[in-house]
A and B are shown apart, each in its own frame.
Chain A
Amino acid sequence: DTGVSQDPRHKITKRGQNVTFRCDPISEHNRLYWYRQTLGQGPEFLTYFQNEAQLEKSRLLSDRFSAERPKGSFSTLEIQRTEQGDSAMYLCASSPGERSTGELFFGEGSRLTVL
């Protein structure tokens, strides 16, 4: 297993367009997280899944953001009608689950630039 992979690594889009990011976690991990990181800030929690169930979604997340993990393996994060303020690095992480130490294994991120 090569770790957490994210695709695409970079995305440039015009304001108002929709974008979708994909995350493939480490295969035996049942928890999957999405974070957003902007320059000079720590990762900001967006949402997380236990298998296919979305357990929590940040109150900061507008209705334009939606995430899915339909079969409990890979996950997608979609942003509709993008705004310039959505420009950030979107990080995916996975972990073995609730009974573990909670260590997160991060992917290298998907950088979004909204023009």
Chain B
Amino acid sequence: GEDVEQSLFLSVREGDSSVINCTYTDSSSTYLYWYKQEPGAGLQLLTYIFSNMDMKQDQRLTVLLNKKDKHLSLRIADTQTGDSAIYFCAERPSKIIFGSGTRLSIRP
């Protein structure tokens, strides 16, 4: 079946790294995504990784993919208050399936 799971909350100190984890079930997923939803705003794509890659780095963002364990993670370096949002992991076997989201809050 298709299911994406992630922890609901993460709290980090400003300037530290944030790591958000996700597990998915469909091994046929061709792409995996991280979307960001800020309060009162729509979802926007943050980054994605193709299924034949292990890692992708984009400025402060690092995505790690472990296909064997069906585990995806998003690391945000030097977390800032502007990073406060809900982060959704998503997989794409055919249509795109989202997890429940991880709410990231930043402590001063």
Give the residues in chain A near B8, CB-CB below 8 Å: 40
Interface size classification for chain A: 20 to 34
Which residues of chain A are within 8 angstroms of B41 by Cβ–Cβ distance?
108
Assess whether A106 is in contact with B43, with CB atoms less than 8 Å apart. yes
Is the Cβ of B48 less than 8 Å from the Cβ of A43?
Answer: no
- Please state if B101 and A41 are interface contacts (CB–CB under 8 Å): yes
Q: How far, in whole Å, are A71 and B31 apart by their CA atoms in the complex?
A: 29
Which residues of A67-115 have CB atoms within 8 Å of chain B's CB atoms? 91, 93, 101-104, 106-109
Give the nearest-CB partner of A107 in chain B: B42
Q: Does B68 make an interface contact (CB < 8 A)?
A: no
A-B pairs with CB below 8 Å: how many? 53
Q: Is A21 an interface residue (CB 8 A)?
A: no
In the complex, A101→B56 CA distance in Å? 15
Q: Is B95 an interface residue (CB 8 A)?
A: yes
Q: How many B residues are at the interface, by size bracket?
A: 20 to 34
B43–A102 contact, CB under 8 A? no
* B1-14 Cβ-contact flags toward A at 8 Å (1 or 0): 00010001000000
Answer yes or no: B67 CB below 8 A from chain A CBs.
Answer: no
Residues of A contacting B92 in the complex (Cβ-Cβ under 8 angstroms): 102
Minimum CB–CB distance from A39 to chain B (whole Å) comes to 11
A91 touches B42 (CB 8 A): yes
- With A42-B98, A45-B95, A45-B96 already in contact, the answer to whether A104 and B43 are too (CB < 8 A) is yes
Residue of A nearest to B99 (CB): A42
Residues on A facing B (Cβ under 8 Å):
33, 35, 40-45, 48, 55-56, 91, 93, 101-104, 106-109
- Most chain B beta-carbon contacts within 10 A, residue among A41, A42, A109: A42
Cβ of B44 under 8 Å from chain A: yes
Q: A42-B98, A43-B88, A104-B45 are in contact. List 18 more A-B contacts (CB 8 A).
A: A35-B98, A40-B100, A41-B100, A41-B101, A42-B101, A44-B98, A45-B96, A56-B95, A91-B43, A101-B31, A101-B48, A102-B31, A102-B33, A102-B48, A102-B92, A106-B42, A106-B44, A108-B41
